[in-house]
Every structure is written in structure tokens, then in C-alpha cells.
């Protein structure tokens, strides 16, 4: 008994390597207000952004004197998560601390 089989040959084309761009980065910024205690801001910087006490104090003073301070630069989802964490901590303690994210300047 003869078996008739069709042999199909697939042609494999080499793919061109696509140059992947890194994701856009966003900076998380704390904004100054006249009511949130400095100790709370330092605590938030340590808990949410993993800053050392010295780094947290430096950023807190920058926020206090200049009106804003960059806490870190992250991808969009991570930046949004950190902003929400700060807002929740501030709301839980009834502080008006504001935190925003904005596109990071190109380095």
C-alpha cells in the first residue's frame, strides 16, 4: 500500500533586528506647602523612595526653599505608583502634601 504525503517546505526569512528605545522616564516631584511637617516629608522620602536620612533631608530642604524637589526618576507606571503612595500617606495623616510626576528632562 503506497502512502502519498505532501511535503511542505517553509521559507524562513531572517528578521531585521529592531532597535528598541528605552521607555520614557518621568520624575516624581514633591511640592512645598506651609503645613506639612518637615519630619513627615523626610519620613515619606525614606519610606517611599528609599532615600537615606541625609538624602531625604537634602530633598526636603530643597522643597522647603525652592518650592519643589525631585524625589526620583522612574518609568511611567512606577512613577505613578510612587505618587499615589505619597498621596495616600499624606491623606492618612491629614497633610496637604502634594506630589506630581512629569516627563523627565533628557539627559
The answer, yes or no, to whether residue 100 has pLDDT greater than 60, is yes
Residue 12 lies in a domain: no
Residue 82 lies in a domain: yes
Residue 43 lies in a domain: yes
Q: Which of 33, 14, 51 minimizes the C-alpha distance to 95?
A: 33
Residue 4 lies in a domain: no
**CATH code for position 60:** 3.30.1390.10
Give the model's pLDDT for residue 99: 97
Residue 49 lies in a domain: yes
Q: E strand or H helix at 98, and its extent?
A: strand 98-103
pLDDT higher for 29 or 2? 29
Residue 2 lies in a domain: no
Report the C-alpha gap between 48 and 64 in whole angstroms: 19
Residue 32 lies in a domain: yes
Residue 41 lies in a domain: yes
Domain count, the chain: 1
Give the tens place of pLDDT for each residue, 9-53: 676 667 777 889 999 999 999 999 999 999 999 999 999 999 999
Q: Structural domain of residue 61, as residue ranges?
A: 25-103
String of DSSP letters for 44-97: HHHHHH---HHHHHHHHHHHHHHSEEEEEEEEHHHHHHHHHHHHHHHHHTT---
The answer, yes or no, to whether residue 4 has pLDDT greater than 70, is no
DSSP three-state, residue 13 = coil
Amino acid at each position: 500500500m503506497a502512502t502519498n504525503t505532501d511535503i511542505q517546505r517553509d521559507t524562513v526569512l531572517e528578521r531585521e533586528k529592531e532597535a528598541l528605545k528605552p521607555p520614557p522616564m518621568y520624575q516624581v516631584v514633591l511640592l512645598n506647602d506651609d503645613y506639612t511637617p518637615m519630619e513627615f516629608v523626610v519620613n515619606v522620602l525614606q519610606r517611599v523612595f528609599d532615600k537615606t536620612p541625609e538624602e531625604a533631608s537634602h530633598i526636603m530642604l530643597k522643597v522647603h526653599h525652592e518650592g519643589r524637589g525631585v524625589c526620583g526618576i522612574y518609568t511611567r507606571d512606577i512613577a505613578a505608583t510612587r505618587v499615589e503612595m505619597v498621596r495616600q500617606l499624606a491623606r492618612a495623616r491629614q497633610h496637604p502634601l502634594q506630589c506630581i510626576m512629569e516627563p523627565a528632562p533628557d539627559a
